[in-house]
Structure 1
Amino acid sequence: MDILLIAGLWLDGSAWDDVASALRSLGHRPVPLTLPGQGDGPSSATLDDQVAAVLAAVDAASGKPMVVGHSAAATLAWLAADARPDQVAKVVLIGGFPVGDGRPYADFFPLRDGVMPFPGWDPFAGPDSADLDEEARHAFTAAVIPVPGDVATGIVRLTDERRFTVPVVLVCPEFTPAQAQAWINAGDVAELAQVTHLEFIDIDSGHWPMHTKPAELARLLAAAA
């Protein structure tokens, strides 16, 4: 199966190198995406540009792909299900939740000179980054790519309720399946509350399992596929 891999903020397709290698050995065809403005083209890219790139990858896939979105890119994966509900076999969300219609994509941190730079490790202290040693943190920060402001502040538009019929797997890294279910039950994740087929998978890692647990993450993705 084709497995489209969309990394979260500040990352390009190379974040998936170890996961992709493991997936190939398990018989799948991983397609790591480098998004406009995050490793591909100028920093003037918009959210619409990134959505278009994801949809182009869905359209180019062999058969129905599984679309994987990490962190903020959970929303990009969900937008693919909304735009192509008959073409996406399954959506996998890793450590992130899709935002609802009419909300900003990822306006989590201040913009500077038209981009949202990586804010450093303080906002990610605790479970998010506990499994990243100093060497891993240095490698991460050396590779980060500021997110275009028009991506971070772009408004999400969801239009097709058939997205709720696309099966969803939520991979829970720095939080547990029980916590995720509680957030959904409380109404904090309205989109997932309406999904017909929702599965939870636990992985004992921080927020970036593609860096710290790539082989295990690949096995989980292969099983989901």
Structure 2
Amino acid sequence: MTQTTSSPTILLIAGHWLGAWAWDEVLEHLGADESRAVAMTLPGLDATDPARATRTLEDQADAIREQLFRLGASAEQPAVVVAHSGANSPLSLVLDRHPALVDRVVWVDSGPVASGSVFAPELPEEVDELPLPPFDVLAQQASLDGLTPQALERFRQRAVPEPGPVLRQPVELANDERRTIATTLICCSIPSAQLLELARAGHPMFAEVATLEHLDVVDLPTGHWPMWSRPGDLAEQIHMAASRGR
């Protein structure tokens, strides 16, 4: 059902190594837009959880579902979910199992994963967790463009190692209804034209995008962490996407 309220419920989920704190600046801007926005920390990324390194993708998907219920999401009043980077795996599970709870999904420099995807299939079983790598190594995997020294320092200080089980578990999907959910891609480190070309070519990281039935794409040129490099612009794009409904 189409969400008609001018102040939709928005759930924000950050990617690897990050908790709800990563969205602080974006939430300030969304508050000014009078959006009802809430950020969550996925299981395994709470530094105070003594068992966090054992948390799984299933734990994370269950937590997203429970948070949606707490926010009042239902088939009659579905929520908007914003997912950054590695949050795509647990959210893809939720979209597969509970598509009626989500009115629109907004992928921030991210996108849906295909069934059978594994983030780090070669990660040895004995590796309990994956800490944030040195920035010179990270920059070879994801763009740090736009991040100030202060932002990098906060990232380093607050990052929580990613649980090994989350990185090794395959994402098993079976419900094609997930592809009918309205979707917005906010493209930051990869331009939308290039991403769509890769999707049409069947690139394994982007092929699922080509299966989506209701897709909007937005270019927000910056690095992989726009919540710190362009928080106001990101909040504006999230608000605009959330206001569209299905």
Same fold (TM over 0.5): yes
| Whole-Å separation in 1 of the counterparts to 2:12 and 2:176 | 23
**Structure 1: unaligned runs, 5 residues or longer:** none
1:78 paired residue number: 92
1:7 paired residue number: 14
Q: Which amino acid aligns with 1:80?
A: V
Structure 1 residue aligned with 2:231, among 201, 214, 219?
214
Is 1:28 aligned to residue 41 of structure 2?
no
Structure 2 SS opposite 1:89: strand
Q: Select between 46-55 and 92-101 the one with higher mean Cα deviation.
A: 92-101
Q: Which amino acid aligns with 2:55?
A: A
Q: Which amino acid aligns with 2:101?
A: Q
| Whole-Å separation in 1 of the counterparts to 2:159 and 2:83 | 17
- Give yes or no for contact 2:109–2:185 (8 Å, CA) kept in 1: yes
Cα RMSD, aligned residues only:
1.8
- Deviation by residue 1:119-145 (Cα, 9 ceiling, x = unmatched): 222244377112113222122111110
- Deviation by residue 1:152-204 (Cα, 9 ceiling, x = unmatched): 11111112110110011000011111011111111112221111011110112
Structure 2 SS opposite 1:78: helix
Q: Select between 50-59 and 32-41 the one with higher mean Cα deviation.
A: 32-41
In the TM superposition, residue 215 of structure 1 has moved relative to its aligned partner by: 1.0
Is 1:52 aligned to residue 65 of structure 2?
no
Is 1:203 aligned to residue 216 of structure 2?
no
What is the percentage of aligned positions where both structures have the same residue?
Answer: 33
| Whole-Å separation in 2 of the counterparts to 1:99 and 1:90 | 16
Structure 1 residue aligned with 2:117, among 103, 115, 140?
103
Is 1:223 aligned to residue 233 of structure 2?
no
Structure 2 SS opposite 1:86: helix
Q: Within 5 A, what are the aligned runs for 1:115-130?
A: 115-125=129-139, 128-130=143-145
1:37 paired residue number: 44
- Give yes or no for contact 1:72–1:98 (8 Å, CA) kept in 2: no
Structure 1 residue aligned with 2:171, among 126, 136, 156?
156
In the TM superposition, residue 103 of structure 1 has moved relative to its aligned partner by: 2.1
| Whole-Å separation in 2 of the counterparts to 1:86 and 1:133 | 39
Q: Which amino acid aligns with 2:189?
A: E
